[in-house]
């Protein structure tokens, strides 16, 4: 299937004809196009279907991480935390490390929402290393060293509103992680997830 044919149909608004062709052809190139097309059409459930087929039709060397990021974003918007983590775990180590900070933040939030804190901490540790911040020694040790006791954690949360800057992605991600970790220390996992998602919405 010639991708230019699909592009021309989309440009002409011939969505019925285009979607018929997308349903008939299942090459990696067409599936990748279909994933992006359904994002543009605002159909996240279709994105997930096409992405699942795309994953099955490609190897790590062929896979476009842009398609991965789109699928993770759609799964996040639908509240499918398990799918977010499954998509991430289906990647090899090199692919995971190449994902952008916003996508990795979504993955960390999904692991946190599923109470898989070790995985969430591993990803936040990688993000901290990427942005030049010190690695976390362990969760309890890090919280005690950097926040103090429970009273100090609550004071930090009170004094650090979750306001983020689109022009400062690295700084915003660092701030979001700091606030989210504080909420996790308090056991407020849904709030921690909400902070990470709020940051992603601003900087993405």
DSSP per-residue codes, the chain: --HHHHHHHHHTT-HHHHHHHHHH---HHHHHHHHHHHHHTT-HHHHHHHHHHHHHH--TTT--HHHHHHHHHHHHHTT-HHHHHHHHHTS-HHHHHHS-HHHHHHHHHHHHHTT-HHHHHHHHHHHHHHTTPPPPS-HHHHHHHHT-SHHHHHHHHHH------TT-HHHHHHHHHHHHHHHHHTT-HHHHHHHHHHHHHHH-
Q: Is there a single domain that holds both residue 88 and residue 115?
A: no
Residue-number span of the structural domain to which 71 is assigned: 1-97
The pTM assigned to this predicted structure is: 0.55
Choosing from 97, 124, 153, the residue where a domain stops is 97
Number of structural domains (the chain) is 2
Percent of the chain with pLDDT over 90: 10
Co-location of 125 and 69 in the same domain: no
Pair 137, 54 in one domain: no
91 and 150 together in one domain? no
- pLDDT tens digits for range 55-108: 888 877 777 888 888 888 888 888 889 989 988 998 888 888 888 888 898 898
Mean pLDDT to the nearest integer, 133-144: 64
Q: How sure is the predictor about 137, in pLDDT bands with cuts at 50, 70 and 90?
A: low
């Amino acid at each position: 299937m010639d991708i230019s044919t699909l592009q021309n149909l989309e440009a002409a608004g011939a969505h019925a004809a285009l979607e018929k062709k997308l349903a008939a052809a299942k090459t990696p190139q067409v599936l990748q196009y279909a994933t992006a097309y359904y994002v543009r059409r605002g159909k996240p459930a279709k994105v997930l279907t096409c992405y699942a087929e795309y994953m099955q039709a490609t190897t790590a060397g062929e896979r476009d991480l842009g398609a991965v990021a789109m699928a993770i974003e759609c799964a996040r918007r639908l509240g499918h935390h398990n799918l977010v983590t499954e998509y991430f775990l289906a990647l090899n180590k090199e692919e995971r490390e190449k994902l952008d900070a916003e996508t990795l933040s979504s993955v960390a939030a999904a692991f946190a929402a599923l109470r898989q804190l070790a995985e969430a901490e591993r990803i936040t540790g990688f993000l901290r290393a990427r942005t030049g911040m010190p690695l976390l020694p362990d969760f309890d040790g890090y919280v005690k060293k950097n926040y103090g006791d429970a009273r100090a954690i609550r004071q930090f949360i009170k004094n650090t509103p979750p306001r983020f800057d689109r022009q400062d992605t690295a700084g915003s991600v660092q701030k979001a992680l700091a606030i989210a970790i504080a909420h996790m220390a308090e056991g407020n996992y849904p709030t921690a997830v909400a902070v990470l998602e709020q940051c992603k919405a601003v900087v993405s």
